[in-house]
């Protein structure tokens, strides 16, 4: 990536296409072509994880596995794993949002059918890939056991919960087909993504992945590595991850994830974490580490607490972890999501690691102070956003501001008119704000696709602290046609991006 560059934030699930959810197919290729033509050099995605029951990719059954719903059905057809009629059945009635319930039910049946037709040659390729993925056996067995029992690992029979070798061997034998199918889907996921990423790189586009700092209690990771998490002998956490009250929630947020046993992790040089980041680096060119401040200090919420307000700060592993990590990966591959509550410890850890932090333009105009989120204060070693997946869209944000805040924002961005209300890519106020971001000192700027389109708050991806109704936004064919590459190429040429 050149020193100054720009990128677009769009999750795979939000890509346009006929199959109910974005996938690793021809429409992803078309989006990469748009990025190249628009002078962009980065595509940022959300975590590739298997989402939870509320469809969030930030709380998954595995920190390593990918979401099989991103598998391109057309490639399954080309491999003779599904018929033309079965391919047609994958198409969805609405292009506007992901119907996760219908999608998961349909794909489950489709993938079982595809696996039943696996050829000896394809199985041999799968087994070769499988041998190089040490995480996949535990993940596949975990998902097979979850399907069999309908419960998570803490409610399994004690021998399985404690991972006694005889119990694991018996389960693998009993559930061999289910385990193999889970491996098969991961093989398809990773091989399809590898080809798509190679195409993106060939077009000068780097992929920025997103890594949640925590994993789900109901996950293969915790079941397989119980000593690495802060749990009691029954597998229950006394404290859970979260954040104190902030811009997004007056009560703070309880995420429900188990906390790490950092003292135990240190004994083997943080091997699990290093393996996780190296795995992610094989998927992405750069990795945005969500909630970076948790490595400095993290908010621990008692499991019995009513709200996250009752939590406390506990010391993280700090630079000791990063010294171990940097022996295995170049720091230039990492981005620190350093939003939220800031203190001297976080600032010092950022300085010591040298990682770029984040700035969010939407945070800049909520007061009249000369804050760090105002573009003229951005440091070059920064990734700057109009907003993230947790923010409102830029147009929705303008509607939320008080008249005084909105005038401050628009004056700052050089827009003196009153025509800021209407949605659409030609909204002059939105274009003025985007131009301000392009001209900022930040080496990398990233804009959610909704902001390129000037869309309102009804298209935002996530509402923090609210479980239902998130993650379903999709880019339609009509919307994609409104993304004019020349507009962004001119901005990038003007501001040396």
Catalytic residue among 390, 422, 451, 478: 390
Q: How many CA atoms lie within 13 A of 257 on its CB side?
A: 25
Residue with tokens 């050089």: 414
CA atoms of 296 and 213, how far apart (whole Å): 12
137 is catalytic: no
Catalytic residue among 72, 337, 338, 451: 337
CA atoms of 415 and 426, how far apart (whole Å): 14
- The count of other CB atoms within 10 Å of the CB of residue 166 is 8
74 is catalytic: no
Residues 6+ apart with CB under 8 A from 44: 7, 8, 9, 10, 207, 208, 209, 210, 288, 446
CA atoms of 190 and 358, how far apart (whole Å): 29
Q: How many CA atoms lie within 13 A of 325 on its CB side?
A: 24
- The count of other CB atoms within 10 Å of the CB of residue 6 is 24
390 is catalytic: yes
CA atoms of 399 and 402, how far apart (whole Å): 8
Q: Which helix (H) or strand (E) holds 165?
A: helix 165-174
Catalytic residue among 152, 290, 338, 451: 290
For CA atoms 90, 96, 99, 100, give the dihedral sign: positive
Which residues are marked as active site? 290, 337, 390
């Amino acid at each position: 990536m050149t020193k100054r560059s720009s990128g677009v934030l769009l999750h795979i699930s939000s890509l346009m296409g006929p199959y109910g959810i974005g996938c690793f197919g021809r429409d992803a290729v078309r989006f990469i072509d748009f990025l190249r033509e628009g002078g962009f050099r980065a595509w940022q995605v959300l975590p590739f994880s298997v989402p939870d029951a509320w469809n969030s990719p930030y709380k998954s059954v595995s920190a390593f596995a990918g979401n099989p719903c991103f598998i391109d059905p057309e490639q399954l057809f080309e491999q003779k794993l599904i018929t033309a009629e079965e391919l047609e059945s994958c198409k969805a009635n609405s292009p506007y949002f992901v119907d996760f319930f219908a999608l998961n039910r349909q794909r489950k049946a489709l993938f079982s059918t595809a696996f039943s037709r696996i050829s000896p040659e394809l199985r041999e390729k799968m087994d070769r890939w499988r041998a190089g993925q040490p995480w996949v056996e535990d993940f596949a067995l975990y998902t097979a056991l979850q399907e069999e029992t309908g419960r998570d690992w803490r409610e399994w029979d004690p021998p399985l919960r404690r991972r006694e070798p005889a119990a694991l061997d018996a389960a693998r034998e009993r559930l061999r087909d289910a385990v193999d199918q889970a491996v098969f889907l991961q093989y398809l996921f990773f091989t399809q993504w590898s080809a798509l990423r190679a195409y993106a790189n060939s077009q000068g586009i780097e992929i920025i992945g997103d890594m949640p700092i925590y994993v789900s209690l109901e996950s293969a990771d915790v079941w397989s590595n119980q000593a690495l998490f802060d749990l009691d002998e029954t597998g229950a956490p006394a404290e859970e991850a979260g954040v104190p009250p902030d811009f997004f929630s007056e009560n703070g947020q309880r995420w429900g994830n188990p906390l790490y046993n950092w003292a135990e992790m240190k004994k083997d040089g943080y091997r699990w974490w290093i393996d996780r980041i190296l795995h992610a680096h094989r998927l992405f060119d750069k990795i945005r580490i969500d909630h970076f401040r948790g490595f400095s200090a993290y908010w621990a919420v008692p499991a019995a607490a009513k709200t996250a307000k009752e939590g406390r700060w506990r010391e993280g592993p700090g630079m000791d972890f990063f010294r171990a990590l940097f022996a295995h990966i170049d720091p230039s591959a990492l981005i620190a999501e350093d939003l939220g509550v800031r203190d001297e410890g976080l600032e010092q850890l950022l300085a010591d690691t040298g990682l770029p932090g984040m700035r969010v333009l939407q945070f800049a105009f909520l007061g009249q102070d000369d804050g760090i989120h105002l573009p003229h204060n951005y440091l070059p070693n920064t990734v700057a956003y109009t907003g993230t997946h947790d923010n409102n869209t830029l147009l929705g944000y303008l509607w939320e501001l008080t008249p005084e805040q909105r005038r401050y924002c628009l004056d700052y961005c050089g827009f003196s008119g009153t025509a800021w209300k209407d949605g659409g890519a030609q909204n002059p106020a939105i274009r003025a704000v985007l131009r301000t971001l392009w001209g900022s000192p930040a080496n990398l700027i990233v804009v959610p696709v909704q902001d390129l389109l000037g869309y309102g708050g009804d298209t935002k991806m996530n509402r923090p602290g609210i479980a239902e109704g998130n993650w379903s936004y999709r880019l339609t064919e009509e919307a994609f046609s409104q993304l004019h590459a020349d507009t962004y190429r001119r901005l990038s040429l003007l501001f040396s991006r």
